[in-house]
Chain A
């Protein structure tokens, strides 16, 4: 074989080897790039899921916290309103206590007794008064407008009350609690809404 041919064959072999080598490296680089991109894509998909979860968590946190804050706020306002309404009833009791020391009180007391006697519908009734009113019973009773046939007995045992009375038929079958405390407690149930409107209205 001539040296030229041998040389040519050698050059071809080397050229082929170089081409194959380049191809291997190129393929390796391409494959590596694909692997990296695939890994990145998978990781980013997971990251997106994490992000979506974080957004859900954030939304829940906001909803829960705000809902709790609003609930607490409503409760606080309600408690404050209740306290202020209770203050009004406490203040009313104070006013009634003061009133019970004034002369005008007997006028109210007489009117209240007269109405209660009508409600009892009996000719024979017994009334209980507090210690102070017992002392003033003559003054109270002489101004009373009562049915002529009514027999009214005043119990000597003093009633524990700021003002008002407790009246019943003599046989105790029908009783009316006309003490300020009882009537106030009844009024508290009855007037709570109205008192609230009065207090918090413009």
Chain B
């Protein structure tokens, strides 16, 4: 093989090697492009937001139930108060009349 042929052969190989490296570089760049930081953050944020909304909705329902329970308990207490007042009204009225008259009616 003449020296010219040798140099040509080596240059051909070098070109091929450069091509391999350039292809790899291009592939690497494609890999970088695949990483969409904004998309990743958006996906995580959306998931968190959904979880937050579901949680708050559930809490709102729970709180509504608790508030309703307080209202029901209050209605129950008022019912008992009315029953007692109805039962004891005569005693209270007598005592008031006694105070007004200065002695038992």
Contact = CB atoms under 8 A, between A and B. Distances in A.
Interface string B4-22: 0010011011101110110
- Interface of chain A, helix or strand or loop or mixed? helix
Given A1-B6, A73-B74, A39 B103 contact: no
A81 B29 CA distance: 80
Interface stretch (A14-22, A133-141, A148-156, A166-174): A14-22
Contacts, number: 207
Interface string B71-101: 1011001100110110011011101110111
A84 to B, nearest CB: 4
A57 interface: yes
A92 interface: yes
A9 B8 CA distance: 13
B44 A191 contact: no
B70 A199 contact: no
B99 A187 contact: yes
B84 A184 contact: no
Given A36-B35, A111-B102, A112-B102, 18 more contacts: A3-B1, A25-B27, A28-B29, A32-B34, A50-B52, A54-B52, A62-B59, A62-B63, A73-B70, A77-B78, A80-B82, A84-B85, A88-B96, A89-B96, A95-B93, A99-B101, A104-B105, A199-B89
Q: Using C-beta atoms within 8 Å of the partner chain, give the interface range for chain A.
A: 35 or more
